[in-house]
Amino acid sequence: MHDKPIKILVVENNLEDASLIKEFLKEAPHIQTDLVHVQRLSDAQKWLAAEAFDLILLDLFLPDSQGLETMTKMDRKAASLPIVVLTGLQDETIGIEAVRRGAQDYLSKEELNRELLSRVVLYAIERHRLQAVKNDLMAMVSHELRTPLTIVRESIAQVLEGLLGGITEEQRQRLSTALTSTDRLNRMIGNLLDMAKIEAEKLELKKEILNIADMAREVISIFKTRIQSQGLRIIENFPNPDLKVYADKDKIIQVFTNLLSNAIKFTEKGYIEVGVVDKDNFTECSVSDTGLGIGQEYLLKVFDKFQQLGRASGQGEKGTGLGLSICKGLVESHRGRIWVESPPASPITWRAGPPASTRFTFILPHYTPGEIFKECITMGIKESRRQGLVLSILTFEIDDFDTIEKREGKEKMASLLGHLEAITQQSLRRQSDTVIQNSRSILVVLPFTPKNNALLVGARIQHTFEDYLSQESDHPIKILCHAAGYPEDGTTEEQLLKKVREK
């Protein structure tokens, strides 16, 4: 079946298991294999970076990584490779969960034999190939459809708007119908493309620090006319209007848009409530409505593709059957979770009107400033490498922080840092620049900026702030500014961070 030997990376901590696999594969029917065996995740990653493999056989419990996390970490480096997970006899559930998260198959180590191993390897490669073909096809078709669709849409629009002369009322109506359908077709293509990207794990998030309530409001304002014309009320429940999340703006707006348009579609009277609430480890967003509920038997299916069941068909523009599966994909790519309740377990304590019948909730994880800084640098380096450009990072610290804090008090220090952040934000206007406030420093990522420019910017911010400080405090306070540049100071996030930490 295969002309060349199948190149397999065996990631297995247990030497006995590994040599058993080697023996079996050597004599396995129908396949010829070429094995590389490593014991640690870090070694696996090195091999993957250096050589091309056809398949990974992966034990989830390694000295440097434990459990399903191993797969996620591996996945990032090897998203385009089929993975077969090796499990013990007892932990079959973990194997099933691994498959759910994208592994092609799992193998219980106690049950290994030549025939089984050969079949699993062949099937995993073939199944993975078919998935890739399907995703490529979907993406390609969606792209190719855009140009003819543009021509159709704009031609209809021009005749409809009378650019080419007057038309009759009947002609106008017919063309309006054609235009509505063209727009629907366009939405479907957009959704198919999104879905293909999510399934191929090729979705690239452009995360930034966002005010989540502002985003919810932005989406509500798009739907305002429609909500009012249907006689519905909209309730905003944003107890903390300054709440920030670290997420991709377009994607979160898309999630809110899909949930809200869904709620409007199925609600004839009453209200729609949009909530954004801060919890201990995550931010919780919800869209509730008083429309038709969802039958219990459909609750688990609403996020599946092409499922337009569960709620009697609503009014307004026709759906594509992909909206909620895209929501799920987008939320999960942010390492969040989405679910639906009908009726909600804890009805809102809203004073007027009936309790909501349906509530969609999604949660986004919290990030520490340090985590955000690291991720921004990693993403920035990736982008710079792709475009052959540079990147700089800057940090600002208050010199002798502890002594000054003792003298001025905690509150004062927080307000000083707040000011330093504001000044930094004002000096940097590009959207791609990121400014993060940490407990005692300000962290800045400047994509596409050479280090000497970054140093100039840094010095300017330093002066502006020291000017401000000289009016604020009788004692002199000094600001320290450190910079590091890609590629001259390092080519990884760790190296750049090390550089700015060197005093």
Partner 1 sequence: MRKKILVIDDEKDIVKLLESRLKANHYEVVTAFDGEEGLEKLKKEKPDLVILDIFMPKTDGYTFVRECKTIVDIKSVPIIVLTAKERMRDLFKMEGVADYILKPFMAEELLEKVNKHIGPA
User: Measured from the CB atom, is 202 or 498 closer to partner 1?
Assistant: 202
Q: How far is the CB of 145 from partner 1 (least distance, A)?
A: 9
Q: How far is the CB of 414 from partner 1 (least distance, A)?
A: 34
User: Measured from the CB atom, is 14 or 333 closer to partner 1?
Assistant: 333
State the Cα–Cα distance between residues 196 and 41, nearest whole angstrom: 29
User: Measured from the CB atom, is 146 or 335 closer to partner 1?
Assistant: 146
Q: How far is the CB of 203 from partner 1 (least distance, A)?
A: 11
Return the SS3 of 301. coil
Q: How far is the CB of 153 from partner 1 (least distance, A)?
A: 5
Neighbours of 306 (CB within 10 A): 10
Is the sign of the CA dihedral 385, 386, 388, 391 positive or negative?
negative
Asked if 334 and 362 touch (Cβ cutoff 8 Å), the reply is: no
What ranges make up the beta strands (E) of 326-378? Answer: 337-341, 358-365
Binding site for partner 1 (CB under 8 A): 143, 146-147, 149-151, 153-155, 157-158, 161, 163-164, 186, 204, 206, 383, 387, 389, 432, 448
**Phi-psi region at 496: left, alpha or beta (left = phi > 0; alpha = psi -120 to 50):** alpha
User: Measured from the CB atom, is 74 or 138 closer to partner 1?
Assistant: 138
State the Cα–Cα distance between residues 10 and 36, nearest whole angstrom: 6
Which residue pairs from 377-381 have beta carbons closer than 8 angstroms and sit at least 24 positions apart in sequence? Answer: 377/445, 377/493, 377/496, 377/497, 378/493, 379/206, 379/207, 380/445, 380/447, 380/486, 381/486, 381/491, 381/492, 381/493, 381/496
What are the structure tokens assigned to 237, written together?
A: 């429940």
User: Measured from the CB atom, is 15 or 164 closer to partner 1?
Assistant: 164
User: Measured from the CB atom, is 70 or 258 closer to partner 1?
Assistant: 258
What ranges make up the beta strands (E) of 78-119? Answer: 83-87, 105-108
User: Measured from the CB atom, is 146 or 385 closer to partner 1?
Assistant: 146
State the Cα–Cα distance between residues 10 and 26, nearest whole angstrom: 13
Q: How far is the CB of 183 from partner 1 (least distance, A)?
A: 9
